Amino acid sequence: MKKIIDLFCGVGGLSYGFKKNNYKVAAAVDHWEDALRTYKYNFPDVEIFNQDIKDFNENHLKKIIKKNKKIDGVIGGPPCQGFSSVGTRTVDDKRNHLYLEFYNTVKNVDPNFFIIENVSGFLNLSNGIFINDIIKRFGKKGLGYKINYKLINSSLYGVPQNRKRVFIIGVKNKEFKFPIEYKKIVSSFEAISDLNFKLNSKKGNGVYKYTLEPKSIYQKYMRKNSEKITNHENTNHEDQTIQVISKIKDGGTIHDLDRKYWEIRKYNKTFQRMNSKLPSLTIDTGHRNYFHYKANRIPTVRECARLQSFPDKFVFKGSKTSQYKQVGNAVPPLLSELLAKNI
């Protein structure tokens, strides 16, 4: 069985896809307590290192290699806030240089392949200084990998969400070929319409029985080996907020409202509904930028997880706010599964 190390693992979106392709996760590294609680619950057999990546050193790697003999791949998504269009986007942001810790791990482990995932801003910040440095360090004049990278929209690979992220993949002795894009998209309706959208505001644990039959192949796949719906807790909006949301039609925007609402927040995507006939908007860490295509509320954590392609059996831990952030930070498992299959 091939083995990988998942750096900046979060809840394990990348890990999940590789495990589906019969990889063993030899180690997962992060220092976000809630995300690691979620990771541990869903991957109980994986050795977890709860520490800053800068403290994950050669001694740790030697022990992992001694235990596993050979590490075939290193995967991960270094924190992206410094590259994000809603972040500071400055070259001096310390978070922008965490990919160097990723580089040090790859250098010490010498795996057959590596995968780096990040936001689209990674490619163009400071005229491409970071992507050029990665090619220099990891490429044929550096560690010897054949590198291919692509800005991917997850909706073109079976994920019901418009999510654009950069994947940089290096393989020894061959060039990685990205999967062929799908011809058919999965809509928001096809993704979540079997989940109860009228939720009991007094039911606080977010656990429900399935009461509706699956309406799509995607829903059947998400429900596989799951006996209940978890993380499906309602958000109690004020009556005035519900009234405002109700004025926005399926797929509508802030422009469905009176002009007085247009400048309430600085992001023009605020007060926007999912379009039931299209993939959802990007599932982010803020979770309050858009609403359910039918219900007058923001989507639940479970609905967001579905739109990220996490199966229903995958349970999220921590506060509801933390769960939203965990989902929004993750790599869609379905996309990870396709990438792993092509290594």
CATH classification of the domain holding 130: 3.40.50.150
**Is position 244 within any domain?**
no
Alpha-carbon separation of residue 125 from 87, 110, 310 (angstroms): 12, 28, 30
Give the distance, in angstroms, between the CA of residue 297 and the centroid of all CA atoms in the same chain: 22
**Is position 9 within any domain?**
yes
pLDDT of residue 265: 57
The model's confidence at residue 196, banded by pLDDT at 50, 70 and 90, is confident
**Angstrom distance (rounded) from CA 141 to CA 266:** 45
| Percentage of the chain lying above the pLDDT 70 cut | 91
Phi-psi region of 238 (alpha: psi -120 to 50; beta: other; left: phi over 0): beta
Is residue 304 annotated as a catalytic residue, yes or no?
no
Q: What is the pLDDT of residues 61-91, one digit of tens each?
A: 999 999 999 999 999 998 754 444 444 444 4
What DSSP element (H or E) covers 169?
strand 164-171
**Angstrom distance (rounded) from CA 253 to CA 247:** 10
> Are 276 and 189 contacting, i.e. CB atoms less than 8 angstroms apart?
yes
Rounded mean pLDDT, 84-109: 69
**Angstrom distance (rounded) from CA 63 to CA 333:** 28
Q: What is the pLDDT of residues 247-287, one digit of tens each?
A: 999 999 888 888 777 766 554 556 789 999 999 999 987 76
**Is position 200 within any domain?**
no
**Angstrom distance (rounded) from CA 323 to CA 305:** 10
**Is position 193 within any domain?**
no
97 backbone dihedrals φ, ψ, rounded to 5°: -105, 10
Number of domains in the chain: 1
Residue ranges making up the domain that contains 166: 3-178+333-342
Q: Of 4, 25, 26, 80, which is the active-site residue?
A: 80
**Is position 300 within any domain?**
no
Q: Is the predicted pLDDT of residue 289 greater than 80, yes or no?
A: no
> Are 50 and 36 contacting, i.e. CB atoms less than 8 angstroms apart?
yes
**Nearest one of 57, 62, 78, 73 to 7, comparing CA atoms:** 78
**Is position 99 within any domain?**
yes
**Is position 22 within any domain?**
yes
> Are 200 and 234 contacting, i.e. CB atoms less than 8 angstroms apart?
yes
**Angstrom distance (rounded) from CA 151 to CA 341:** 18
* Lowest mean pLDDT segment, chosen from 118-132, 258-272, 292-306: 258-272
**Is position 135 within any domain?**
yes
Tell me 161's DSSP state: B
Q: For tokens 């965990």, name the residue.
A: 326
- What pTM was computed for the model? 0.92
